A and B are shown apart, each in its own frame.
Chain A
Amino acid sequence: MAFSSAFAFDDVFSREIVFSSNLGDNTDMHYLTGSPASIIYKKNTEVFSLTTLFGENGYQRTYDPATTQHIGISFNTLRMINERSFFIAGISYDDMRLRDMFGSREKDFYDDYFSTIDSSMGNTGYYGPQLNLLYNLEIAKDLFFGVSGNYGVERGLKDTFPETITIMRNSSYGIGLDYRKPFFAIGLHGRYYDDQSYYESVKSYSDVKAKTYIGYHVFYNENSASTSKKKRNRMGLEYGGHLRVGGDKAASINLSVSGLHRASRAEMYTSYSKPRGLWQRKGIHVSTNISVHPNEQIKGRFYGEFLAYNDWGMSLISNTLVLENRESYATLGAVAKYNPSDLQSAIIGAEIGKVDYDYIEYVFPFSDTKAGIEWTLFGGAEFYLSSKTKLNFNLEYGKEVPKFYWNTEFFQNTGVIINLEQLFSFGYIDLTFENINKKPSDDSQSISYMQVGLSYRRK
């Protein structure tokens, strides 16, 4: 959660509502850990997908775009090399447009404590490819080893004055070990990522007046110049272990514990570097679930998640501490799935969580402490409309407690996903429609995202 936002092409503006209805194979712990050793596939697969996302920020923060549009196209293939190993390769191309974004030179101003703005108001387009690779090998009996890699480049251009060019590069490398028996598994995993972003604003009318925020209230006035350049380097490390007791056919308990570190460094530069800020994050992420399978028709899961991290930021202008942030999220949930037959199923679930935010800025004193309860109710059904057509829909309703810069007490979230899958002689065609609406507690405007996806999966 805290980790993946560094990917160049993660659409950090869309908060996906994660329907916890994934009651798949209990022995596959990849969804909990992200470990390339824990992923389980048994046959060759190819998936081609095209996704479009439209977002409208009727309610927005100062440096959010008014609307977003994201089009992504991807192709992923899995090949069994032999009985003991397989290989996954994927390539994707994304195009994202952020419209009417005031001042921000960043793709997501709020994702970094040392973000930069300039004097512009305009539209930015980001586009670029990404490559994903994963290799999984059973190196000894029941001992699996996996490595994964991600590499992406991205270019952005703001079409107003001053014109801002952004070039981003990101890479991520994962490694894992998983000792896996039908009723027991234990493993280790690690992941390293880094990304570099380069920004350059060029004047048209007047000089570029850049400002580097230190936190979210105080900014440092950069010298006006005809060209303003910035570099940002980020990196992160995640490592942990996981444990499963029990198998897919009976009760099982899964536990994943991982630590995470993240660092981001921003600097402006002209003919020489002018360091501006460095911030680091240290956190812990615990995920666990207990799955029960009392009979063929009913399956249930209780799950819990705890994520906590501490951030601190240092001004590289004064070499002093300028901000600290502590956040924690503790969530408990339960979901039940009823399968009266192979042709139909229904799920129902609920989760409740406690969030704590404690944020302090020192340059010019500001602090915000907030705690609250979040909850979500969700349900859905899946059934065949005909022998070759399957319909799946999910609904969600919940409350979310946002950070202070949203300037609202809470969001009321509603979400719906409708998925239609059709079997053809050449494979499956899958059409997905998703709509998410976030309504702030004290504003009539809301944020809405509509996503339409089309994918092809070989039979």
Chain B
Amino acid sequence: MKRNAIIIITFISVLLLSSCLLFESKPDAMDGSLEINLTFTIPSEADSTVGIPVTDMPVKITTSNYNIPEMYDTTDENGKVYFTDLPFAYYTVEAYTIIRPDGFTEIEVVGAKVLELVADSLQGETVFEDSLSMESSKRGLKINEVYTVGPPNNIFYFYDQFFELYNGLSTTAYLDGMIFLRLSRTELFADTLSVTNIYQFPGTPITGRQYPIEPGEFVVLAGKAMDHNLIGPISGKTVDLSNADWEFLNMIEAGAYDNPNVPNLTTNNGQVTQRSRVDFMVGLSGDGLALCDGTDYDQTDGINVNSVVDCVEYSSSETHTKEVPYVLDASFGGVGQSKYSGSSLERIRPGFDTNNSRVDFVIINAPTPGYHHE
């Protein structure tokens, strides 16, 4: 009987002990309790260190983490907006308005920011407060669209890559001598860019006037300037680039495709040195691209960041480690984009640039070479 009692007591003890050890306790904090309070200001003309509240401005916040809808609020008389009952996530805040300081002037201003509001970064807090200083949209010659992922296919076809430039200036810009770079990893506070591939427009930088791009004009730079729909498995799924404005050509690639009707973007008569023996291609789901004025074309010691006209970093992965200095691009766009999906990355509006690709670019379902998405 004593032996049986020992068996029973041991049996009960093991059961109760294991039930205590195997399971965790319920957390106290709830998701969906995050509150974002933002204040939008614009620098005073009299004293730029003083911010004036921007009132009655619609503000949008979105997250690509969850399938929750976009949320909107309008700034009150103090320039504040409040968003409540949100999950912890990464958010993109975007605000846009036109300010009329007098009867004859309109200033287009934007306020945009990416907020990393995951539980770890907030350290238990559920209220996040921040202020955003509105900036004038930086108009200029911009890389407007980046199409890299390839069309839907199972033959690993991605040779239909192209880039689109847009002149947002009110005057004509000239592409003479400009260089287009595929970047490699660069220190985030460096003053020179590391380069994987370099291509240069013909002509003389800065002073050349042979290759104009008019205000509001789009220019398409094709990897291969051909009608890619002629390739059977991807027929009807991709783009016709046979009428592109420029074509990348690697002079040292054996048997490189060259459309004789499209001018080449190559070495500018040997001024820049191409080291790769393959086509100009960029990463399908992540890379850094820069358009530079061409004043610094010696890639051996890096390209001076001051010569950069526009720069874009993109990656499909939210946890991607930035590879381009913050001064050129504060973040990266393309989060969530899939390889071989036929989607493209384009600025929200033509030339829209806040120096923050996560904000400036959206993923669109299909590429739009030479025009902007609706």
Contact = CB atoms under 8 A, between A and B. Distances in A.
A318 B32 CA distance: 10
Interface in A163-216: 175, 177, 188, 190, 192, 203-207, 209, 211
B22 interface: yes
Contact of A362 (B33, B153, B317): B33
Contacts of B152: 205-206
A224 B338 contact: yes
Interface string B8-48: 10011011101100111011111111000000000000000
Contact of B23 (A188, A204, A261, A321): A261
Contacts of A318: 31, 87-88, 118-119
Interface residues of chain B: helix, strand, loop or mixed (majority): loop
Interface in A105-142: 139-140
B339 interface: yes
A221 interface: yes
Interface size class of B (residues with CB under 8 A): 35 or more
Contacts of B33: 320, 362
Given A192-B18, A280-B23, A223 B318 contact: yes
Contacts of A414: none
A317 B285 CA distance: 24
Nearest to A236: B22
A192 B64 CA distance: 40
A9 interface: no
Interface string A260-284: 0101000000000000001010100
Given A206-B338, A206-B339, A207-B340, A315 B31 contact: yes
Contact of A239 (B15, B30, B87, B317): B15
A377 B337 CA distance: 55
Nearest to B31: A320
A177 B7 contact: yes
Interface string B79-95: 00000010110000000
B29 A321 contact: yes
A314 interface: yes
Given A235-B22, A239-B19, A278-B24, A320 B88 contact: yes
Contact of B4 (A143, A203, A261, A362): A143
A128 to B, nearest CB: 26
Nearest to B26: A312
B23 A263 contact: yes
Nearest to A192: B18
Contacts of A315: 31
B26, B31, B33, B339, most chain A CB atoms within 10 A: B31
Interface residues of chain A: helix, strand, loop or mixed (majority): strand
Contacts of B22: 235, 237, 261, 263
B65 A220 contact: yes
Nearest to A322: B31
A363 B1 CA distance: 56
Interface string B113-157: 000001110000000000000000000000000000000111000
Nearest to B155: A205
Contacts of B338: 206-207, 209, 224
Interface in A309-338: 312, 314-315, 317-322
Contacts of B11: 175, 177, 188, 190
A219 B67 contact: yes
Contacts of A140: 1, 3-4
A63 B29 CA distance: 30
A103 B16 CA distance: 40
B49 to A, nearest CB: 37
Contacts of B7: 139, 145, 177
A363 B67 contact: no
A188 B64 CA distance: 51
A362 B30 CA distance: 7
A364 B68 contact: yes
A24 interface: no
B17 to A, nearest CB: 11
A218 interface: yes
A224 B337 contact: yes
Contact of B27 (A220, A321, A361, A364): A321
Contacts of A205: 152-154, 340
Contacts of A278: 24
B27 A320 contact: yes
B316 A363 contact: no
B208 interface: no
Contacts of B104: none
B189 interface: no
Contacts of A280: 23-24, 26
Nearest to A235: B22
Contacts of B85: 365
Contacts of A206: 152, 338-342
Interface string A13-43: 0000000000000000000000000000000
Contacts of A203: 339-340
A445 interface: no
19 contacts: A145-B7, A206-B152, A206-B339, A206-B342, A207-B285, A218-B87, A223-B319, A224-B338, A259-B19, A261-B23, A312-B26, A318-B31, A318-B119, A319-B119, A319-B120, A320-B119, A321-B28, A363-B31, A365-B32
Question: Lowest 10 CB-CB distances: which A-B pairs, in order?
Answer: A207-B338, A224-B338, A318-B88, A362-B32, A320-B31, A318-B119, A206-B340, A239-B15, A206-B341, A363-B87
